[in-house]
Amino acid sequence: MRALAAVGEARLEADGLVLRRPVPGDAPLVYRGTRDPLVREFLQAVIPHVDLAAAERWLAEVPPQLWTGGRAAYFTVVLDGEPVGWAELVNLDAADESAEVAVWLLPEHRRMRTATGALRLVCRFGFEWLGLRRIDAFAAADNMASQVMGAAIGFRRAGYRPALFRSSRTQRLHDAVHATLVPDDLC
């Protein structure tokens, strides 16, 4: 597996959709995203930024630190020049050559297969740029959009994990569906 820190600039593009590394100017996106009820329901440990300045500070510090530390690859999803969402590879495991993926979009950009395109691009980054062997996804059992999106690009169901994570919004425990993707299945 190639070390994330060895990858400087990363930009992936397909069908008008671009994944690029986040910049402080993406503050309006992450400010809204971390306050969105579905993002907070279905992702763990999402802390809403108090204001745009806090989001800007977070963007300037945290994503570059995690990238150079080889811990997480965060991307802003840009559609026709506008930041519309977020894609990430976390829990990067060099020994296992694996990572975990998550994607979210601002609500007005959902249901148009943009998230499916973003998921495909971030998985391509994991396989083609980092040489990962496997990418895992854990979707809440009641998060059908996430499961359908994963299946559309080749994720296969690998298990059911009761009470796997807590909602950031309600602290309620979610059961999760574990799905996994290997390079040959990516479509």
Ligand X SMILES: CC(C)(COP(=O)(O)OP(=O)(O)OC[C@H]1O[C@@H](n2cnc3c(N)ncnc32)[C@H](O)[C@@H]1OP(=O)(O)O)[C@@H](O)C(=O)NCCC(=O)NCCS
Using CB under 6 A, list all residues that contact ligand X. 38-39, 42-43, 102-105, 110-116, 139, 143-146, 148-149, 152
Q: Which is nearer to ligand X, 7 or 38 (CB)?
A: 38
Q: Which is nearer to ligand X, 61 or 82 (CB)?
A: 82
Give the three-state DSSP class for 153: coil
Q: How far is the CB of 117 from ligand X (least distance, A)?
A: 7
Q: How far is the CB of 146 from ligand X (least distance, A)?
A: 4
CA distance 98 to 91: 8
Q: How far is the CB of 129 from ligand X (least distance, A)?
A: 22
Q: Which is nearer to ligand X, 31 or 42 (CB)?
A: 42
Contacts of 61 by beta carbon, 8 Å cutoff, 6+ apart: none
- Torsion over CA of 125, 128, 131 and 136, rounded to 10 degrees? 50
Q: How far is the CB of 3 from ligand X (least distance, A)?
A: 26
Amino acid sitting at position 167:
S
Q: Which is nearer to ligand X, 3 or 151 (CB)?
A: 151
CA distance 144 to 150: 10
